[in-house]
Amino acid sequence: MSFAVNAMLKSPWVFHLSTGSCNNCDIEILDCLTPRFDIERFGMLLVGSIKHADVLLVTGSCNRKSAGRLKTLYEQAPQPCVVVAIGECSLSRGLFIHSYNCPVPLDKIIPVSVYIPGCPPKPEAIIGGVVKLIQKVKGT
């Protein structure tokens, strides 16, 4: 395991990106950070710029206006960067699959490592997903 990956697993910093969501997933992510769930205990921190982040949390159904910018942002991210798709919208676009403004799903735009289903997933599920991600990267 490289030094960078090791450091990342110790304290993954996350950047959160909404690409045309209904807000619920985003609010549940914020909920994870607030006292009841408090994932900051585990070193996870929401940061303000993708350039500081190890994990990219994507919610929403990737509409046309966001999709291009999403790609740019992903290219700016320092590697290794894992992408976590949160909520039905970013998995398959859910209810919005036939929308004229949501042409392609997230995983056709950028590679996705973890899918957390739910509409919205409960904070517990989000935390569960991140734990699985860490185990996967560690290879246990």
Using CB under 8 A, list all residues that contact other proteins: 16-28, 30-31, 34-36, 46-49, 60-61, 63-66, 69, 73, 92, 94-105, 108, 119-120, 122
Question: Nearest-CA neighbor of 56 among 104, 15, 9?
Answer: 15
- Is 105 one of the binding residues for ligand SF4 (CB under 6 A)? no
- Is 120 one of the binding residues for ligand SF4 (CB under 6 A)? yes
Residue 35 touches which member of other proteins, ligand SF4, none, C-beta under 5-8 Å by kind: other proteins
φ/ψ of residue 83, rounded to 5 = -105, 130
Specify the residue, 68 or 80, whose C-beta has the smaller distance to other proteins: 68
Residue 54 touches which member of ligand SF4, other proteins, none, C-beta under 5-8 Å by kind: none
Tell me how many degrees the CA angle 83-100-111 measures, rounded to the nearest 5.
15
Distances from the Cα of 121 to the Cα of 4, 12, 65, 103, 124, angstroms: 29, 20, 25, 23, 8
What residues make contact with ligand SF4 under the rule CB under 6 A?
A: 21-22, 24-25, 59-60, 87-89, 94, 119-120
